[in-house]
Structure 1
Amino acid sequence: MTIKTSIRFDQNLEIPMRDGTKTYADVFRPAADGKYPVLMTRTPYDKSSAASRSGPLDAINAASQGYAVVIQDVRGRYSSGGEFYTFVNETDDGFDSIEWAAEQSWATGKVGMYGASYVGATQWLAAKSGAPSLAAIVPTVTASDYHEGWAWQGGAFELGFNLSWSVGSLAHGNWNNLSDQLQLGNSALENLISSKDNLKPEFLHLPLSEMQVLKNGLAPYYYDWLSHPEYDEYWQSLCIQDNHDKIQIPALNIGGWHDIFLGGTIRNFTGMQSSGANQSARDGQRLLLGPWVHGNTGTLAGSYNYGTSSSRDKENIHGRTLSFFDKWLKGDTAKEAIDKSVRIFVMGINQWRDEEEWPLARAVDTKFYLHSNGGANSLRGDGILSQVTPSDEPPDSYHYNPQFPVPTAGGGLCCDDVFMKNGVFDQRPIEQRSDVLVYSTPPLEEPLEVTGPISVTLYASTTAADTDFTAKLVDVDASGFARNLTDGIIRARFRNPRHPASFIIPGEVIEYHIDLWSTSNVFLRGHQVRIEISSSNFPRFDRNLNTGGEIGSELEFVSALQTIHHSSEFGSHVILPIVRN
């Protein structure tokens, strides 16, 4: 890194909010007098931390290239006053913070925002405010809806993420601030640390709403998320994707194939491209997707190494981010973050590729049907995946017992590497279970590229009043290593998205659609394409107790007999977007 100029550092500058709350920020800017475009990050994770100062963007490097970098603790976090509650204050507080920065004597009046995860949420929520000085954003690994794809997915509560994030980063991470506000002593801290270090009993606790670790004001939002399983007014006022038509700024959207917010990253790009408030916003959307997990910038995704070229450093994310801001904040139209609208890492062949659009116009949605002779249970079963339309075949059945759920084995996870390691892991241990149905193609005679949105249509019946179905796409190499690519879930009562709960009739064959989000992968010659079907992925998602009771309040559970139909009448299948070279 070459420092081109002397840097001035100002610590704990006060940024007042409209209600009188005092928040604080650190500022890195060129020492020379002048006016500079502002790059702002609004974080709940400590403005003074190394991650905040050099994570998604290196503050000193950016300042050396002519930017004033403002790193702010959001309301109620670390140095800032007020009470923190997820999402609800970030629109107004974002507006006030942006306009404060734009009005400083050292600012040109143009502000860009950057950051990852919740710090991506603070960008989109601020963009929703219509702050006039906000010129561009670079949201990384973040969501488009804080109901579907953040707290909930497919009607299931994202238990592993919600609990580990709330206990760890939000409560324990902000303990000094929280303990002062709530007048809590060392015993409360010890209890919190004990729970953080022993999450498994907390995951298993029933009823979910009575778990004590976050009570007494530590994280009231956690219990509020749980009590709002439907897309109601609680979530509607916060949603980004429903407000794309009101957002007027370009965005460089950065995400990861194995990231927990992959779906939202892509939806923000596509939604803004089609519905942004003006032509500049629509034309100014960019999408960059690597083989990354949440929070890891290296080459490893779980147990799998995608190679040196896959790392964010090698891909020069910091440089691409500054190029994007150079264009939109400095008017340097020769600068582009990426050569085309979309840049993706194609797994399998492990190569970067630029594309004109997403989804790819040349990708052909192709149905691969589930087949068996009624015994697709486990890796030892007779499940087959092929493009042949099924005829009269016996269905597959398995018992789902909530007391013995299928354990989570990688995938798009956050935020505890001890209890939920994210990324890629060999799925064969999962596929040994009789409550996991396994459908595989024969070894491929030639490479097969799958790039785009993935969905599974299941025709299924159950003996329960409510239940879940899960699906996972896997690439199996010649040695048998089963590399998970993407997965999804659907809760029967919420099979119709954004509609009130609708309970099923036990025994009735129902059509379910499971969104597996997207991937880009070349299944190499000799590899197999595999789909796993089951009814749990725990603790990533809460267990459906099969009773149809109120989510979060249930204590009792029942086992369910699940039947997956694949016949001429009920052709269960996965849709794979095939790209022919």
Structure 2
Amino acid sequence: MTHLAPLLIETSPLLPVRPPETVSMRTRDGVRLEADLYRPDAAGAWPVLLLRLACGRRTALTSHYAHPRWYAARGYVVVVQDMRGCGTSDGRFRPFENESEDGADAVAWAASLPGSSGAVALYGCGYAGMAQWLALAAAPKALRAVVPAFAGWDVFCDWAYEGGAFRLADAMGWALRAAAESARRVEDGTAHRILSDAARRLPLDDEIPSRPQALRDYARYTHYDDWLTMPAPGAHWDALSPRAKLTEMPADVAVMQIGGWFDPRLAGTLDAHEALAGRSRAPLRLVVGPWTAAGPQEAPSLDALQLAWFDRVLKGEGADRGEPVRLHDVEAGRWHDLPGVPAADTAFHLSSDGLATRQGGRLGLDLAEAAALDVVVHDPRGPVPAVGGHAVPDAGRFDRSVVDRRPDVAVYTTPALTEPLTLAGRVALDLWIEADAPSFDVSAVLSVLHPDGRVLPLTQGHARVEPGDPTRPLTIAMRGACATLAPGTALRLSVAGACFPAYPVNPGTGAEPGETRRVDAQPITLLIHSGPERPSRLRAPLPPGGAGASFGQEFSSDARSFDTRAGSTSPFAAATRQTSRL
């Protein structure tokens, strides 16, 4: 659905690049960090691009970015550094613990390298993106720009837990890969083989699914147990997180964030932009596209985005283009240019005849006059699976129509649209819900229902309700979305009691995931209320201005396919200023 990535037009001849040199530095506590240095083979001084990696510098993250030679040929000194305890650098890797001081030391060192102009920018995605935020918190004098991609803002909320639920597949996969690398560094061949094999096929069928044997046997190589046993925010998490550490924004550092709609850390990316928008006087940009954390999709390359940004803020070349926020429309395949990220400000109310798991319920702008109660029974022997979305390795937009037909999934769908409808920004769900267990999970997915029956996700949210948590209503943050729904399509909200293996199956007892065996989990009955006294509602973003949109077709009695009967219309505004390019 997206437009093809625009060609990057070269405006000046490419420079020859010297063969890479291996260089090293010492951190303030004496740890040696090694790096590869790429620089133009030409006279002059050049800005420095510093990429600090936890996955080994020789890969240079080429799954996401062009090789460092590409940037060097365009007038930059490029430094690709192994972080502490990674690749050939010394020390021990402990996630996020040393990145503020090490990053600041690396920036100062990079500014003094041969060929450097003294101005340094950081780039990188995932962990390398979070490391940029942490280095920025130390305010190194030579730092002029950062481009965190798919990074997040808070370690607890964006990396370890979501809505109080442990990020099982995401956290386990990363922990196994990091542990395998740690085992390789000390030449523990048996551990490396077992951990590498487990990373390729997550051992989720273990007796304790959230703490499989491989991670129990080789806990010394990973942080996983620490994360699993700290299920609440607090001082430990704050000590690792840019959200807590970056309390003052350096005034002269330009920031461009790159996020993806199906990146697991998108919510933190949006939070970071909103936090910095009120603090920074330097250029600030947010771009959210169809990319995932697993690699590039059919869209403008990260390199084209970054090079234009670096040329502007480091070299003074090129002009500012458009608004601070650019969002890619996953349905229409175009870009929306906005002054900020719109809030979830329009309510779509849930209603039903009590058969949302069988015939389907309704999603509409008008609050239902009668109260309704839908019953969802979660069976841990066959939990509702994660299909696409952001929290599993195969992230993205995959048809979930088969999942929506399960009897343990409640669906609420609008009538079909007769005019285009654009949603762009934050999404949230206020759900009046209760259960027959002290603890339970709620998974919510917002999708587009197409006339051919495909159900393609836009965004999702998840919450683990602990004993005593408020559920009147339960508010679930559902990240963000950007889509223009065509006439004939509809919005659908799907609600279930599990989303496995994105999150652990809740046993219903309140026990922590690392202590829960498969045999401990019990069936849980969820009661979803709607109506005037308990108004469950989806809150969606409708950017200001533009033309109206209306609903047409009603759903047939089984609510799983469109009926051709005409229905009532409900006009409301939905549009944005749109651009066809980045």
TM (normalized to structure 1)? 0.87
Displacement, 1:3?
A: 6.0
Match of 1:457 in 2: 430
1:39 aligns with 2:27: no
* 2:381 aligned residue: 403
Q: Secondary structure at the match of 2:542?
A: strand
5+ residue gaps, structure 1:
300-310, 415-419, 494-501
Cα distance, 1:102–1:490 mapped onto 2, change above 3 Å: same
- Please state if 1:486 is matched with 2:451: no
C-alpha contact (below 8 Å) 1:117/1:141 kept by paired residues: yes
1:54, 1:15 → 2: CA distance? 27
1:485 maps to a residue whose letter is L
Structure 1 residue 93 and structure 2 residue 102: aligned? yes
1:431 maps to which of 404, 412, 427: 404
Equivalent residue for 1:19? 29
SS in 2 for 1:484: strand
Whole-Å separation in 1 of the counterparts to 2:456 and 2:482: 13
Aligned position for 2:335: 352
Pair 1:375-2:358 in alignment = no
- SS state at 1:124 partner: helix
Deviation string, structure 1 residues 44-72 (Cα, Å, up to 9, x no partner): 122111x5358334422221222110000
Matched residue, 2:497: 535
CA shift, 1:548, in A, is: 1.4
CA separation of 1:121/1:205 partners in 2, compared to 1, >3 Å: closer, same or farther? farther
- 1:152 Cα deviation after fit: 0.5
Q: Give the counterpart of 1:256 among 253, 257, 260.
A: 260
Alpha-carbon deviations, 1:54-103, whole Å to 9, x = none?
83344222212221100001111111111111111111110111111112
Question: Does residue 331 of structure 1 match 2:331?
Answer: no
Give yes or no for contact 2:349–2:366 (8 Å, CA) kept in 1: yes
Cα distance in 1 for partners of 2:145, 2:81 equals 18
> Any residues of structure 2 matched to 1:168-567 within 5 Å, and which?
168=177, 170-173=178-181, 175-177=183-185, 179-180=186-187, 184=188, 186-199=189-202, 201-202=203-204, 204-206=206-208, 208-209=210-211, 211-213=213-215, 215-217=217-219, 219-248=221-250, 249-276=253-280, 279-280=281-282, 284-299=283-298, 311-313=299-301, 317-332=302-317, 334-336=318-320, 338-359=321-342, 365-377=345-357, 380-413=358-391, 420-493=393-466, 503-504=468-469, 510-555=472-517, 556-567=520-531
Identity percentage over the alignment?
Answer: 29
Corresponding residue pairs, total: 531
3-state SS of paired residue (1:460) = strand
- Once residues 319 and 548 of structure 1 are traced to their aligned partners in structure 2, the CA distance between those partners, rounded to angstroms, is 48
Q: Distance in 2 between matches of 1:462 and 1:66?
A: 61
The aligned counterpart of 2:540 is 576
Counterpart selection for 2:164 from 142, 150, 155: 155
Residue 208 of structure 1 aligns to a residue whose secondary structure is coil
Quote the Cα distance in structure 1 between the aligned partners of 2:340 and 2:193: 51
Residue by residue over 1:111-156, the C-alpha shift from the partner in whole angstroms, topping out at 9 and shown as x without a partner, is 1001111111111111111111111011111110010021100000
RMSD, matched Cα: 2.1
- Answer yes or no: is 1:129 the counterpart of 2:138: yes
67 and 347 in structure 1: CA distance in 2 versus 1, 3 angstrom threshold: same
Question: 1:148 is paired with a residue of what secondary structure?
Answer: helix
- The one-letter code of the counterpart of 1:228 is M
In the alignment, residue 69 of structure 1 is paired with which amino acid? V
- Which of 61, 71, 80 is matched with 1:71 structurally? 80
Q: Distance in 1 between matches of 2:143 and 2:207?
A: 44
Shift of 1:412: 0.8
**CA deviation after TM superposition for structure 1 residue 174, in Å:** 5.3
Question: Given that residues 253 and 287 in structure 1 are in contact (C-alpha distance below 8 angstroms), is that contact kept between their aligned partners in structure 2?
Answer: yes
Tell me the distance in 2 between the aligned counterparts of 1:373 and 1:53: 53
Q: Distance in 1 between matches of 2:64 and 2:360?
A: 48
Cα 1:217–1:398 change in 2 (3 A) is closer
- Compared with structure 1, are the counterparts of its residues 350 and 198 closer, same or farther at alpha carbon in structure 2 (3 Å cutoff)? closer
Q: Distance in 2 between matches of 1:194 and 1:63?
A: 37
Q: Helix, strand or coil for the counterpart of 1:150?
A: helix
CA spacing shift, 1:312–1:45, aligned 2, 3 Å: farther
Equivalent AA in structure 2 for residue 221 of structure 1:
H
**Structure 2 unaligned runs (5+)?**
1-9, 544-573, 576-582
TM-score, normalised relative to structure 2: 0.87
